[in-house]
């Protein structure tokens, strides 16, 4: 099919203005040609016979008069078996193959297939000839790692399709014909394992969207108990540099009860991305005993890459997350960081000469962020299965200022706010989630009474701490001092957690409930001490018993023995023991 063509009439950084004759649509993909290189672009605005396009590569060498070829297709991704265990750039180029082809310095204008065409997959049919199916309905499956990867009628097909034939069980490549289908108009099409979908359009081939209610267990105590995330919900982790956002995301991805994990490194510094690539594939998967990479996908787009690719990377990631939701799986998408994506939007908005909003971000920043998080959700598929996409976005506000536009726009749409604190990070209290500023709209695994008690102690303990900085410990009443000791006790034994310990790093829901019950006994207990030194000494000893308890396996005899020792220590300090 002949391609539509145009010519460049303006170059502004990585934005091109192109004059065309045939019709061009918003978000259409085009290629700007410079010498033998074809640079991928996306149409971001159409005015009369001119289109403004963002280039996903370095625009060096492009000049007025250079030709442009329009593809007639929207920016899209390849979907099918073989996505798991892969590392892609923002345009879904496999980075390992790209490095193999280009060497240490990636060349621009090189685009590879996201899914290997040579791998053979063992196909087992699930539908028979004569069946009438719709987009998203399954015709068979192949094994992909620990999952059953379903082969479906492509999402872009409209209406009902009658299967004329289905391939027999056997080994096939993703381009082989798995079925032949015909619609009511007599049009016949072939179904393969491979299909395409535009990244900026949500995949919606499910029966209904449900309200996220069940907690996504992350095995991080401060999250599951105090600021829970719902399966199919949204959360954000704003924080200054060095507050532990990346480590927290690694912990959540490793221990959260999700089937598939997708990490989108959007505009992060190259050093942090290299750390992800080096360490992430070696993280142990508690569910399978293998590596976490076996059920993960990584999208890499560093800050040194062209800014336009940052926007593509978050949409590429969320589209793949939606695809695995259609497989009947629970998917967790972690985007780090959405601030870099917003900065890319700001840069392109400036080049489009749009009226700027707060801090020069585009006026539509809030709607773009909302549209991204709205692609999360718990759904019921037409098969009756429940599946979900949970989205967590890291935000990097300059100087840790949560009042800046990206953080504020994010807080308006997410259901959980895990605010990381510079003060807690400097004090080595990890995870550095501020328990006084964070919040969640989702249901906790803890009872309302225990939760209210703990939050009250934290709040009052902070007030006493601030007062003690002014009047000193000697001027503080014993009752207030005990409140302060209890709040510090709660912080050290429950809110803080050693991510790098095999036992303490992953605290399941049942263990959290057992621990919280013991902690609540201390928080509500009435203690009698002759002086403040005795009170401090007692709580330090009790704190150490709890910390030692955190490092013991729940099914070990040492765990039960330590629990009994803690019970005796609590009774020892109570007034009416």
Tens of pLDDT, residues 342-364: 999 999 999 999 999 999 999 99
499 CB-side CA count, 13 A: 21
Which is more confident, 278 or 573?
Answer: 573
Q: Is the pLDDT of residue 288 over 70?
A: yes
Q: Is the pLDDT of residue 278 over 90?
A: no
> Residue 575: what pLDDT?
64
Residue 246 CA: distances (Å) to CA of 20, 70, 240, 422, 510:
45, 39, 11, 15, 26
CB-based burial of residue 247 (10 Å sphere; 0-12 exposed, 13-18 middle, 19+ buried)? middle
Share of the chain above pLDDT 90, in %: 82
Nearest to 34 by CA among 2, 67, 71, 77: 67
Q: Is the pLDDT of residue 105 over 90?
A: no
**CB 467 within 8 Å of CB 258:** no
> Residue 96: what pLDDT?
87
Nearest to 481 by CA among 548, 421, 543, 538: 538
> Residue 399: what pLDDT?
81
Tens digit of each residue's pLDDT (9 = 90 or more) over 384-439? 999 999 999 999 998 889 999 999 999 999 999 999 999 999 999 999 999 999 99
Backbone torsion region of residue 384, taken as left when φ is above 0, otherwise alpha when ψ lies between -120 and 50, otherwise beta: left
> Residue 137: what pLDDT?
97
Report pTM: 0.94
Beta bridge partners of 263: 298, 334
> Residue 141: what pLDDT?
98
Number of Cβ within a 10 Å radius of residue 442: 19
Residue 211 CA: distances (Å) to CA of 78, 215, 230, 275, 379:
29, 12, 10, 36, 8
How far, in Å, CA of 577 to CA of 572, rounded?
Answer: 7
Q: Is the pLDDT of residue 1 over 50?
A: no
How far, in Å, CA of 300 to CA of 227, rounded?
Answer: 29
Q: Which range (24-33, 152-161, 394-403, 474-483) has the least confidence?
A: 394-403
Which residues fall within 8 angstroms of residue 364, CB to CB, at 6 or more apart? none
Q: Is the pLDDT of residue 576 over 70?
A: no
Tens digit of each residue's pLDDT (9 = 90 or more) over 173-205? 999 999 999 999 999 999 999 999 999 999 999
């Amino acid at each position: 099919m002949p391609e539509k063509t145009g010519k460049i009439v303006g170059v502004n950084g990585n934005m091109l203005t192109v004059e065309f004759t045939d019709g061009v649509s918003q978000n259409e993909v085009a290629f700007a040609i410079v010498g033998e290189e074809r640079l991928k672009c996306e149409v971001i605005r159409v005015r009369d016979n001119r289109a403004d396009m963002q280039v996903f590569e370095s625009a060096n060498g492009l000049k007025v008069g250079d030709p442009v070829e329009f593809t007639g297709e929207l920016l899209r991704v390849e979907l099918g078996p073989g996505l798991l265990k892969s590392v892609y750039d923002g345009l879904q180029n496999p980075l390992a193959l790209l490095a193999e082809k280009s060497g240490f310095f990636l060349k621009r204008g090189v685009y590879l297939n996201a899914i290997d065409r040579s791998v053979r997959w063992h196909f087992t049919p699930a539908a028979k000839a004569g069946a009438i199916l719709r987009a998203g309905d399954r015709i068979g499956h192949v094994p992909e790692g620990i999952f059953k990867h379903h082969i479906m009628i492509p999402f872009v097909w409209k209406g009902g399709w009658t299967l004329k034939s289905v391939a027999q069980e056997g080994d096939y490549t993703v381009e082989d014909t798995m079925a032949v289908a015909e619609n009511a108009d007599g049009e016949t099409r072939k179904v393969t394992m491979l299909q395409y979908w535009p990244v900026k359009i949500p995949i919606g081939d499910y029966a209904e969207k449900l309200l996220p209610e069940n907690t996504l267990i992350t095995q991080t105590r401060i999250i599951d108990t105090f600021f829970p995330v719902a399966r199919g919900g949204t959360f954000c982790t704003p924080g200054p540099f060095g507050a532990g956002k990346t480590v927290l995301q690694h912990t959540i991805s490793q221990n959260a009860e999700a089937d598939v994990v997708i990490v989108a490194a959007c505009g992060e510094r190259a050093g942090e991305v290299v750390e992800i690539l080096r360490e992430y594939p070696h993280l142990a998967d508690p569910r399978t005993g293998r590596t976490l990479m076996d059920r993960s996908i990584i999208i890499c787009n560093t800050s040194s890459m062209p800014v336009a690719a940052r926007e593509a990377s978050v949409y590429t990631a969320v589209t793949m997350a939606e695809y695995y939701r259609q497989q009947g799986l629970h998917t967790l998408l972690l985007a780090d960081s959405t601030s870099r994506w917003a900065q890319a939007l700001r840069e392109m908005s400036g080049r489009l000469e749009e009226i700027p909003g707060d801090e020069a971000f585009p006026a539509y920043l809030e709607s773009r962020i909302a549209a991204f998080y709205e692609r999360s959700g718990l759904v019921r598929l037409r098969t009756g299965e429940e599946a979900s996409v949970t989205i967590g976005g890291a935000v990097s506000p300059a100087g840790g200022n949560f009042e800046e536009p990206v953080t504020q726009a994010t807080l308006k749409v997410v259901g959980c706010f895990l605010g990381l604190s510079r003060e807690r990070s400097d004090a080595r209290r990890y995870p550095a989630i501020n328990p006084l500023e964070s919040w969640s709209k989702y249901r906790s695994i803890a009872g309302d009474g225990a939760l209210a008690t703990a939050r009250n102690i934290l709040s009052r303990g902070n007030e006493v701490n601030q007062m003690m900085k002014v009047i000193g410990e000697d001027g503080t009443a014993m009752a207030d001092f005990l409140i302060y000791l209890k709040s510090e006790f709660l912080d050290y034994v429950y809110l803080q957690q050693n991510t790098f310990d095999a036992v303490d790093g992953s605290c399941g829901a049942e263990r959290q409930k057992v621990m919280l019950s013991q902690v609540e006994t201390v928080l509500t207990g009435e203690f009698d001490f002759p002086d403040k030194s005795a009170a401090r000494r007692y709580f330090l000893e009790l704190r150490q018993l709890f910390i030692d308890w955190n490092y013991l396996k729940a099914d070990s005899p040492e765990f039960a023995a330590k629990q009994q020792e803690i019970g005796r220590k609590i009774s020892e300090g109570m007034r009416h023991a």
